[in-house]
Amino acid sequence: MKLQQIQCTSCGAPIEWDGKYGQPVKCTYCGSVFLPAVTGREDVWLMTDVVARARYEFEGRLDKLEQDIRFEVMRGQDWSALDRAYAAEINRLETEGVVRKLATFWAISPHPSVYRALRDGELNLKGNRIPFKKGDDIVWACPMTRDRFNLDWPVLIGDFQDQRTQQLCGNMANAMMGRMR
Ligand SMILES: [Zn+2]
């Protein structure tokens, strides 16, 4: 069994964990008992499209996706301040009718929702203004996506029908499928 390293929620000591959610773990340093969750259970799904999540649940693979998000996407850390800023901003823009959520989600974990800009606007990520144009598609970008597209911010804005985008996404989706198996 492959062990993963997590932190004790009380004292922060490193603990080897067998990756089984829902089973209490006892810290060998301070003795406290806790349920492993580097990030709160609901918080893990911050970036995941509800339809994508429901699909994994239907297929009985939700645990796999949760694990992938925690350890491959979040790398055992919490969401960054910029990630949270993106989540808040895209909700604000949707509420204000500047963007609308499309009936599609990003091909790779954590399968964030894809939005389309209904008019010109901007995302404000901790004081950094990131403009978009009417008709642009907008999606949260995981570290892997950031690397592939050389992004400065955790957001990909552009034409997702574009050949280059499709090809890059195809490559990433394949890499992802390999890991999920
Ligand atoms: Zn402890």
pTM attached to this predicted model? 0.73
Q: How far is the CA of 86 from the centre of ligand 1 (A)?
A: 33
Q: What pLDDT digit, counting tens, does each position of 31-45 carry?
A: 988 777 656 666 889
Q: How far is the CA of 67 from the centre of ligand 1 (A)?
A: 22
DSSP 44: G
Supply the pLDDT for residue 63: 85
| Greater model confidence, 174 or 110 | 110
Supply the pLDDT for residue 171: 63
Q: What pLDDT digit, counting tens, does each position of 8-31 carry?
A: 878 889 888 887 766 788 999 999
Residues with Cβ–ion distance below 5 A, ligand 1? 8, 10-11, 13, 27, 29-30
Residue 175 has pLDDT above 60, yes or no: no
Retrieve residue 91's tokens: 């909700």
Show me where the domains of the chain are located.
1-36, 39-181
- The string of DSSP codes covering 45-82 is GTTS-HHHHHHHHHTT-HHHHHHHIIIIISTTSPPPHH
Q: Are strands 25-26 and 137-140 parallel, antiparallel or unpaired?
A: unpaired
Supply the pLDDT for residue 130: 96
Q: How far is the CA of 155 from the centre of ligand 1 (A)?
A: 36
High-pLDDT (> 70) share of the chain, %: 83
Q: How far is the CA of 34 from the centre of ligand 1 (A)?
A: 9
Residue 174 has pLDDT above 70, yes or no: no
Q: How far is the CA of 31 from the centre of ligand 1 (A)?
A: 6
Q: Give the pLDDT mean for 147-156.
A: 90
Q: How far is the CA of 26 from the centre of ligand 1 (A)?
A: 8
Looking at the DSSP bridge assignments, the partners of residue 140 are 155
Q: How far is the CA of 43 from the centre of ligand 1 (A)?
A: 22
Distance CA 147, CA 149 (A): 6
Q: How far is the CA of 73 from the centre of ligand 1 (A)?
A: 25
Q: How far is the CA of 70 from the centre of ligand 1 (A)?
A: 20
Supply the pLDDT for residue 149: 84
Please give the helix or strand (H or E) that residue 145 lies within, else none.
Answer: helix 143-149
